[in-house]
């Protein structure tokens, strides 16, 4: 039990997927201008990242490794993720239209979110078991969501703040992200 707790804390705070591992920076800067889009994106990522983690683990364990074709892992994983995203989109539109409406526009963007592919590859590289994969994927996605939502909260304040002309837009966003990463750094000693 302790082991899983450690895995969760480490994935959310210490090795935060965004601020310490730099995975998923494009949506981080792209959709963090407004709070509700940030929340929508986070929810979509939690959903897809967990599913993708499990499916790529199964594909790797039962297809790639037995047939000795691990070298096409990148190609196989990105295809699985792209198909999965498309499938999730179709499924949600048919069966849970409310959820589809709130996640809809973010789903296609997730295919090129490197947090998803990155976590899938980390799961394999670290040789996680299926349960560990699930725990790690959920925790990583929650870490992503936490950083994104916090960042969106700060970024909304920029609207009413005077910012040096040269730093406007992405520049100040990156510096802010740096300071956020610094505060997440303080968790380093926890586990």
CB of 1 to other proteins, least distance (A): 29
Buried b (16+ CB within 10 A) or exposed e, 96-130: eeeebeebeebbebbbebbbbbbbbbbbbeeebee
Helix (H, G, I), strand (E, B) or coil at 134: helix
Asked if residue 171 binds other proteins (CB under 8 A), the reply is: yes
Q: Any contact of residue 189 with other proteins (CB under 8 A)? A: no
Longest dimension (CA), the chain: 59
111 binds other proteins (CB under 8 A): yes
Our CB check for other proteins shows the closer of 74 and 129 to be: 74
Among 6, 35, 58, 74, binds other proteins (CB under 8 A): 74
Residue with smaller CB distance to other proteins, 102 or 176:
176
Is residue 181 a contact point for other proteins (CB under 8 A)?
Answer: yes
Does residue 48 contact residue 84 with C-beta atoms inside 8 Å?
yes
Residue placing its CB nearer to other proteins in the complex, 30 or 97: 30
**CA count, 13 A, side-chain hemisphere, 52:** 35
Could you please report the per-residue DSSP string of 172-188? HHHHHHHHHHHHHHGGG
Pattern 16-45, other proteins, x by CB under 8 A? ---xxxxxxxx--x----------------
Cβ 69 to other proteins, closest distance in Å?
A: 11
- Which residue stretch of 33-41, 52-60, 90-98, 160-168 sits at the interface with other proteins (rule: CB under 8 A)? 160-168
C-alpha span between 32 and 173 (Å, rounded): 9
Tokens representing 186 are: 């303080």
Q: Which residue has the tokens 């730099």?
A: 22
Residues 41-70 that bind other proteins (CB under 8 A): none
The residues of the shown chain that bind other proteins, judged by CB under 8 A, are 19-26, 29, 71-75, 78-79, 82, 111-114, 117-118, 121-122, 125, 164-168, 170-175, 177-179, 181-182, 185
């Amino acid at each position: 039990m302790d082991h899983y707790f450690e895995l969760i804390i480490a994935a959310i705070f210490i090795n935060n997927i965004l601020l310490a591992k730099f995975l998923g920076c494009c949506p981080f800067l792209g959709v963090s201008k407004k709070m509700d889009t940030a929340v929508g994106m986070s929810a979509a990522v939690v959903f897809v990242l967990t599913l993708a983690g499990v499916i790529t683990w199964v594909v790797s364990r039962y297809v790639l490794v037995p047939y000795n074709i691990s070298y096409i892992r990148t190609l196989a994983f990105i295809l699985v993720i792209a198909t999965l995203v498309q499938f999730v989109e179709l499924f949600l539109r048919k069966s849970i239209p409310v959820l589809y409406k709130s996640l809809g526009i973010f789903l296609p963007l997730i295919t090129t979110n490197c947090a998803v592919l990155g976590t899938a590859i980390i799961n394999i590289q670290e040789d996680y078991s299926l349960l560990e994969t699930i725990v790690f994927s959920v925790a990583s996605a929650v870490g992503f969501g936490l950083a994104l939502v916090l960042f969106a909260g700060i970024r909304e304040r920029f609207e009413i703040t005077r910012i040096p002309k040269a730093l406007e837009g992405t520049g100040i966003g990156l510096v802010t992200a740096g300071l956020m990463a610094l505060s997440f750094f303080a968790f380093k000693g926890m586990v």
